[in-house]
Every structure is written in structure tokens, then in C-alpha cells.
Amino acid sequence: MPFKIVRNDITRVKADVIVNTANPNPICVSGTDLAIYEAAGKEKLLAERANIGKIARGDIAVTGAYNLKAKYIIHTVGTVWTDGLHHEFEILKHFMESLLC
């Protein structure tokens, strides 16, 4: 199945899925994460994320996109790269495998 990478305001992209670099806890604080929540409908999206709970590094959670043009949002917690000696490769591999399942 083909896919396309688009450089645009993520809250305005018409797509099956957008990926959000999320906070591990079901909160939104600033930046792109906050913009996505506000555009999608903050209360509904926060409620769905609260039902999911905490997301570990390398894991994903899928929610509806509500008022966005996308159908779904994949929430993932980014890996903090230190020096490659703190399981960064394993976490990234787990993330990629989670996306493909």
C-alpha cells in the first residue's frame, strides 16, 4: 500500500492517519500536541486518551481524530537519544513494529 509524506500544518492534513508525538500521560501541554488536541476537540480527545492511560516509550495508542480531516491519530512517546547505549535502538525498533502491526 503506498503512502505519502506531506509537509503541512498537521491539523489541516486530510489523511487516514496522523502521528502525534505525545506526552506519556493523557495530558496536552504545548506545541504540536496542544495544536492537535485543540483542533480535534480537546475534551473528546482528552477523554479518549484518559481511557487509554499512560503510553510507554516505543508504544503507540490510536484514537479517533474527531474534528480533524484525518481519520485517526497515532500517539507515540518519542525516544530520548542519549548515546545509543541506553536501549534507544530497541525502543525505536519496538515503535516501528507497533506501527506495522
Q: Order the strands of the 72-76 sheet from edge to edge.
A: 17-21, 72-76, 60-64
Query: Which secondary-structure segment (H or E) carries 97?
Result: helix 88-100
Catalytic residue selected from 9, 16, 33, 83: 33
Residue 33 appears among annotated catalytic residues: yes
CA angle 39, 44, 45 (to 5 degrees): 65
**Angstrom distance (rounded) from CA 77 to CA 74:** 10
Alpha helices in 7-84 (DSSP H): 31-40, 42-52
Give me the active site residues, please.
33
